[in-house]
Structure 1
Amino acid sequence: MSFLWAIIAGLIIGLIARAVLPGRQDIPIWLTIILGVLGALIGNVIATALGVRDTGGIDWIRHIVQIAAAAGLIAVVTPLWAKRVRR
């Protein structure tokens, strides 16, 4: 069941990250999900390294770091995907 939650979280984080970035990102939804999941994992590592603790409520700082990590991944991968598709 945790695998399903990781996909759902990756989709949400990836879509928010795409919305934060300016311009259009021509990548498929499956790649958005994968980059969202990777961004969530990287964001968790960074948040833990920064000393962000789990709280009883919503972990806003952790989620912001996750979205930023996913946005960074999407910003790097989108031009690479565009070059791959043009060939």
Structure 2
Amino acid sequence: MSMSWIWVLIVGAIIGAIAGAITNQGKSMGCAANIIAGLVGSSLGQALLGDFGPQVAGMAVIPSIIGAVIIVWIVAFIINRI
């Protein structure tokens, strides 16, 4: 069971890193922020768009990346406003 959580964290970090690269915010994000953006973005993307496309570690890749991009944009907007 613990290996599945490790796999989810790794995939979440990769999704968060991809979202950071797409939004040009990846340089300022650390590993923990990538994981959080990837996991929260995955939940948001799948809630909004469903679970179409390839799946890795229980996450639909395309909706997860789209959701993570939305999360990164929102967080970057809030941080830049402060």
Alpha carbons of structure 1 residues 75 and 29: separation in structure 2 relative to 1, 3 Å: same
Choose the corresponding residue for 1:73, options 67, 71, 74.
71
Query: Rg: which structure is higher?
Result: 1
The aligned residue for residue 38 of structure 1 is 40
- Structure 2 spans left out of the alignment, 5+ residues: none
Aligned residues: 75
Q: What percentage of residue pairs aligned between the two structures are identical?
A: 27
Letter in 2 for 1:68: I
CA contact (8 A) 1:27 1:78 kept: no
Q: CA RMSD in A?
A: 2.5
- Structure-2-length-normalised TM-score: 0.69
- Structure 1 spans left out of the alignment, 5+ residues: none
Higher strand proportion: 2
- Structure-1-length-normalised TM-score: 0.66
Specify which structure has the bigger relative contact order, considering alpha-carbon pairs within 8 angstroms and separated by 6 or more residues.
1
Structure 1 runs (4+) deviating above 6 angstroms are: none
Measured after TM superposition, the shift of residue 66 of structure 1 is 1.0
